């Protein structure tokens, strides 16, 4: 079996991390793996040297000519690799893949990686999914968003937890709050900042560490100044592996308006960290968290509820330790071996 993953760029995002994990494991199983990057050359993750990386150009910037050229280059790659099963991550990539493989006998698996409501063009996405052999969803809520004919092609496969996850930390936790994710509107770090401001009124020695990069970095720094929390917020930027740095943090917070399944949330839970997440569509967080048992779920965009949850964890070491210990179970439930086996069963059955 030969697999070709297709993604715009291998930047530091959740979909890209999943591709890197699957690709590295597949080559260990003697499966030929290629990664086709359609609009960039960024590579944020370490790949096995046996994985062939193909780059066909940069971003289109909305140019019709550049998009047509991208399709032509993709088609040339597909023609040169007739035995490859195509696995396209994200809707626009799946759409371009469908156009590029038109008339060619290629199996295609498309993978929805986020809340379906967040994508702006249902028509091109539904075209792509109807012309795919299978569609992978991360949650049942995401799959149920689509028409029945697409649901019938659907299969639910969650994200895997990285195998090199540090052991669960059992010592005294630092007075730190950790958040990891792109600094973009979807992640709603502004809501976290407002909650953290209120939280600091009761726990002024805590520091918020924000991992990630994005277009809102300047705006968030200005907001931190405006809320008078600048001295308690550290912008850490992107780290390829932050796990050893955050394993003893006081708590992990996911403040997103929508998500698929957050890799960072799973990793934090797998390390036994007390976690808080918005109960955001498309249901990934509620798949992982049983409220009050192995974490806390709060409503989307409600800073007061988020602040209250943070205070609950900071105010009780026993509660924090209890939900952190219960969270470790996700290591087995979402283990890499389990998720890879589900992908293998899907791909060998095409």
Paired tokens of 5: 């993953």
**176-333 CATH:** 3.40.50.2000
SS3 49: coil
Please determine whether the domains at 2-160+335-348 and 176-333 fall in the same fold group of CATH. Answer: yes
202-223 exposure pattern, b = at least 16 Cβ within 10 A, e = fewer = ebeebbbbbbbbbebbeebeeb
CA distance 332 to 253: 22
DSSP-assigned beta bridge partners for residue 306: none
Q: What's the predicted TM-score (pTM) here?
A: 0.83
Q: Quick one: 333 exposed, middle or buried, by C-beta within 10 A (0-12, 13-18, 19+)?
A: middle
SS3 113: coil
CA-wise closest residue to 33 among 45, 42, 46, 24: 24
CA distance 257 to 327: 22
Task: Say if residues 18 and 87 touch (Cβ distance below 8 Å).
Answer: no
Task: Give the pLDDT of the chain (350 residues) as one tens digit per residue.
Answer: 999 999 999 987 778 989 999 999 999 999 999 999 999 888 888 899 999 999 998 888 889 999 999 999 999 999 999 999 999 999 999 999 999 999 999 999 999 988 898 898 999 999 999 999 999 999 999 999 999 999 999 999 998 887 788 899 888 999 999 999 999 999 999 999 999 999 999 999 999 999 999 999 999 999 999 999 999 999 999 886 788 899 999 999 999 999 988 989 999 999 999 999 999 999 999 999 999 999 999 999 999 999 999 999 999 999 999 999 999 999 999 998 999 999 999 999 99
Q: Quick one: 8 exposed, middle or buried, by C-beta within 10 A (0-12, 13-18, 19+)?
A: buried
Paired tokens of 313: 């964890």
SS3 253: strand
Boundaries of every domain in the chain:
2-160+335-348, 176-333
**2-160+335-348 CATH:** 3.40.50.2000
Mark out the alpha helices in 247-316 (DSSP H runs): 263-270, 284-288, 303-314
């Amino acid at each position: 079996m030969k697999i070709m993953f297709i993604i715009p760029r291998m930047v530091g995002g959740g979909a890209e991390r999943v591709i890197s994990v699957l690709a590295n494991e597949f080559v260990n199983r003697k499966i030929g793996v290629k990664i086709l990057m359609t609009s960039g050359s960024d590579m944020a993750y370490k790949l096995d040297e046996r994985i062939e990386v193909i780059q066909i150009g940069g971003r289109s910037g909305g140019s019709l000519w550049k998009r047509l050229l991208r399709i032509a280059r993709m088609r040339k790659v597909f023609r040169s690799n007739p035995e490859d099963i195509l696995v396209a991550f994200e809707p626009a990539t799946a759409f371009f893949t469908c156009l590029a493989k038109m008339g060619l006998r290629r199996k295609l698996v498309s993978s929805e990686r986020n809340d379906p409501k967040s994508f702006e063009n249902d028509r091109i996405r539904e075209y792509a999914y109807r012309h795919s052999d299978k569609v992978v969803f991360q949650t049942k809520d995401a799959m149920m968003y689509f028409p029945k004919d697409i649901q019938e092609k659907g299969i639910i496969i969650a994200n895997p937890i990285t195998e090199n996850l540090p052991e669960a930390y059992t010592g005294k936790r630092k007075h730190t709050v950790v958040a990891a994710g792109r600094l973009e509107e979807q992640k709603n770090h502004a809501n976290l900042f407002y909650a953290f401001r209120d939280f600091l009124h009761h726990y002024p020695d805590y520091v918020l560490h924000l991992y990630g990069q994005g277009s809102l970095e300047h705006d968030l720094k200005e907001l931190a100044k405006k809320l008078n929390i600048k001295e308690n917020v550290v912008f850490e930027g992107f780290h390829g592996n932050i796990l050893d740095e955050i394993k003893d943090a006081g708590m992990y917070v996911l403040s997103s308006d929508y998500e698929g399944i957050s890799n960072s949330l799973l990793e934090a839970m797998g390390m036994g960290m007390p976690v808080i997440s918005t109960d955001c569509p498309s249901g990934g967080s509620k798949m992982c968290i049983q409220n009050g048992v192995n974490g806390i779920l709060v409503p989307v965009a409600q800073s007061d509820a988020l602040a209250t949850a943070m205070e609950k964890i900071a105010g009780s070491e026993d509660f924090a330790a209890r939900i952190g210990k219960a969270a470790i179970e996700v290591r087995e439930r979402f283990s890499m071996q389990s998720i890879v086996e589900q992908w293998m069963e899907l791909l060998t059955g095409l």
